Structure 1
Amino acid sequence: MTISTGVSQPLRVCVFCGSSSRVDVRYRDAATAFGRLIAGRGAELVYGGGRVGLMGLVADAALEGGARVTGIIPRFLMDLEVGHGAVSELVVTDSMHDRKAEMYERADGFVVLPGGLGTLDETLEVLTWSQLKLTAKPIVLVDVDGFWQPLLALIDHTIRTGFTRPENRALFQVVDTVDEVFDALAAFRTDPSVDVSKKWL
């Protein structure tokens, strides 16, 4: 079964990415390009709700292209005034965990752009959910200029040393550019052993 992109329900893409603006222009350009691509494909953006860093860039580009954008942000970050005030819907949660749960529930798939510890946390958690067969949604890492190679090497190391099953390397896909993301999402096949009716969050 492939992920649906029917016109009755636009594809809802959850993007994990960094909140820092002090990064290479290559990463900033990729975030803007992907926001534009989301809008151009008639998809919706679900993301962490920030107005800064790559998060703000992908949201701004998607909004400028006419896409619906849902931001999900914990209350303490709203209090620090980093919430994006122009998104289509801004959901304020009580905690970081609630934020991740809400992003998962609202998304059809996950796309990971370059980011820091927060992005790693979000990515590894959703990978763990997939490993435990609690979820059945595609995960795509965008390896902009090799950004994710150290993470991929670490995952391969956990496989070689016996801590991760070799088949779990297929829980996610890796592409080099944002232009390849939607093809990767479309190629995803649902694991029939996953009970998507489970309420586990």
Structure 2
Amino acid sequence: MGGLALMYVAVYCGSLSTVPQSYVDLAAEVGRQIAARGWNLVWGGGQTSMMGAVAREARAGGAHTYGVIPQGLATREIADRESTELHVVDTMRERKKMMDDKADAFLTLPGGIGTAEEFFEVWTAGVLGMHRKPVVLLDVDNHYKGLVEWLTELRDKGFVSHAALKSLVVTDDVSVALDACVV
């Protein structure tokens, strides 16, 4: 990982406008704190809901915003044309690869199935030794409580190693989550 001034944090979060405002506010706070640390944002390139809030606030605070959005979602999620860098790609696989390659750490905020899929992919890759980047789950309002309980049950049944579960940082505090992004 480069110096902290060159730090890029990938943020996965919800993009639907139907999420509670408290989650949009949370994403905005994450964006503000990323910028306040002199870091940069990697995200899905959309300007709606939580996705848009994290990027707008990061950019407002001086952070470089690196967005990657598939062409098919550019209209649906309304591509953030204000992004410092916006890459429009053909597929979700291209999107994830570009985000993974650019990021120094991965932070998952509340979200739905797409967010969960991105979280599981980067966490699994880390557990398998394909990267050594921190993976952090920001679990406000017990959004991921059931998931964490299920993962613990899987560990207890022998399907998930103790080391895998221990490698995952779970917190409900934005500052603690961002602190955990630095190895």
Query: Which of the five TM-score ranges fits, normalised by the shorter chain?
Result: over 0.9
Q: Percent of aligned positions with the same letter in both sequences?
A: 39
The answer to which of 116-125 and 155-164 deviates more is 155-164
Alignment-derived partner of residue 91 in structure 2? 95
Say yes or no: does 1:70 pair with 2:66. Answer: yes
Say yes or no: does 1:155 pair with 2:151. Answer: yes
Question: What is the rounded CA distance, in whole Å, between the counterparts of 1:79 and 1:34 in structure 2?
Answer: 25
Question: What is the rounded CA distance, in whole Å, between the counterparts of 2:69 and 2:121 in structure 1?
Answer: 17
Question: What is the rounded CA distance, in whole Å, between the counterparts of 1:119 and 1:80 in structure 2?
Answer: 16
Alignment-derived partner of residue 195 in structure 1? none
Structure 2: gaps of 5 or more residues = none
1:134 aligned partner, one-letter code: M
Taking structure 1 as the reference length, the TM-score comes to: 0.86
- Higher-Rg structure is 1
One of 104, 107, 116 as aligned partner of 2:103:
107
Say yes or no: does 1:137 pair with 2:133. Answer: yes
> Closer, same or farther in 2 for the Cα pair 1:112/1:67, shift >3 Å?
same
Superposed displacement of residue 81, structure 1: 6.2
Structure 1 residue matching 2:45: 3-state secondary structure: coil
Alignment-derived partner of residue 41 in structure 1? 37
2:39 aligned partner, one-letter code: A
1:111-170 per-residue CA deviation (whole Å, 9 max, x = no partner) reads 111000000000001111112111110011111121111110111121112211121102
Question: What is the rounded CA distance, in whole Å, between the counterparts of 1:81 and 1:131 in structure 2?
Answer: 31
Structure 1: gaps of 5 or more residues = 189-201
CA RMSD of aligned residues (A): 1.4
Contact in 1 for aligned 2:136/2:168 (Cα 8 Å): yes
Alignment-derived partner of residue 58 in structure 1? 54
Contact in 1 for aligned 2:4/2:38 (Cα 8 Å): no
